[in-house]
Amino acid sequence: MMQLLHALSAVLFAGVALSLPSGEYPQLDTRQLSSDNCTEYTSVAAGSVCIHIPYDCDATYIVEGGDTCKSIGEKFGNFSLTQFYKWNPDITRSCLALRAFVPVCVSTPWYTLAPPSAVQAPAGAIVPASATPVPVMPGAAPSCAAYLLVGPGVRVDAVVTAAAISLEEFLEWNANVDPEFPTVWSDYFVCVGVEEEEEGEEGGDGEAGAEY
Ligand SMILES: *[C@@H]1O[C@H](CO)[C@@H](O)[C@H](O)[C@H]1NC(C)=O
Ligand SMILES: *[C@@H]1O[C@H](CO)[C@@H](O)[C@H](O)[C@H]1NC(C)=O
């Protein structure tokens, strides 16, 4: 992955060097690259980066220092964070790859936030993986089937109780949570259920965590 990124930026920088008269550096320069379907964006603050946004994106926003997916969602109020991620896959499901000074797509002609959809689920909501919840705390199990949105100040024991799972399960499904001092990030989704494994024999009835 890192290697790919390096290779990609080498190509992009080479492209910029060729397209620029020497001694000049534009404030803003975008163009389509056919190879990776990405748009090259260049500014003094961001340097030269390759971004992936829909070809029909009709409004962008330049991310500011300190922005988060949540703050951007609240600033606009007219798209869900899931849609924001789908428009801007570069930010990743955790939103941790959101970069200051780089544009993100905030609109396409075919999208409107129609009730009962919301910018974000209410704190404590448990949503299926099929809803593509965003942002997800890093380390969630790839087989995660259900996510809970952690509200401000919520502790792991409260999450475990709300989801009716064991602490062991929670730690297993959220690999980046420190087992010794488990904490969760406010306003992030954590994994509270995984896909049932196909098994020949049926275990006890309904008691999750029986393997412990
Ligand atoms: C670029 O987009 C086209 C059309 O959407 C798609 O078929 C192709 O696989 C994409 N290429 C890459 C490298 O993603
Ligand atoms: C959201 O609001 C911004 C600012 O008014 C606008 O540019 C953008 O098109 C809107 N996005 C959607 C999806 O309506």
Per the model's pLDDT, the better-predicted residue between 119 and 203 turns out to be: 119
Residue of 48, 52, 118 lying closest to 87 (CA atoms): 52
- Predicted local confidence at residue 199, as pLDDT: 55
* Tens of pLDDT, residues 51-68: 999 999 999 999 999 999
**Residue of 56, 76, 81, 119 best suited for mutating to test ligand 2, as the one with most atoms within 8 Å of CB:** 76
CA distance 160 to 182: 11
56 lines ligand 2 (CB under 6 A): no
Given the CA of residue 37, which atom of ligand 1 is nearest to it?
Answer: 1
Given the CA of residue 61, which atom of ligand 2 is nearest to it?
Answer: 7
* Tens of pLDDT, residues 164-202: 999 999 999 999 999 999 999 999 999 999 998 765 444
4-13, 34-43, 172-181, 194-203: range with lowest mean pLDDT: 4-13
Paired residues of 149 in beta bridges: 189
Cα–Cα–Cα angle for 26, 30, 34, rounded to 5 degrees: 140
Report the predicted TM-score, pTM, of the whole model to 2 decimal places: 0.77
For residue 78, with 0-12 CB atoms within 10 Å meaning exposed, 13-18 middle and 19 or more buried, which class applies?
A: middle
Report the DSSP pairing between strands 59-62 and 103-107.
antiparallel
Question: Residues with Cβ < 8 Å from 209, sequence gap 6 or more?
Answer: 165, 166, 168, 169
DSSP states along 125-140: -EEEGGG--SSB-TTB
Q: What is the residue with the minimal CA distance to atom 9 of ligand 2?
A: 107
- Predicted local confidence at residue 116, as pLDDT: 86
State the distance from the centre of ligand 2 to the C-alpha of 171, rounded, in angstroms: 39
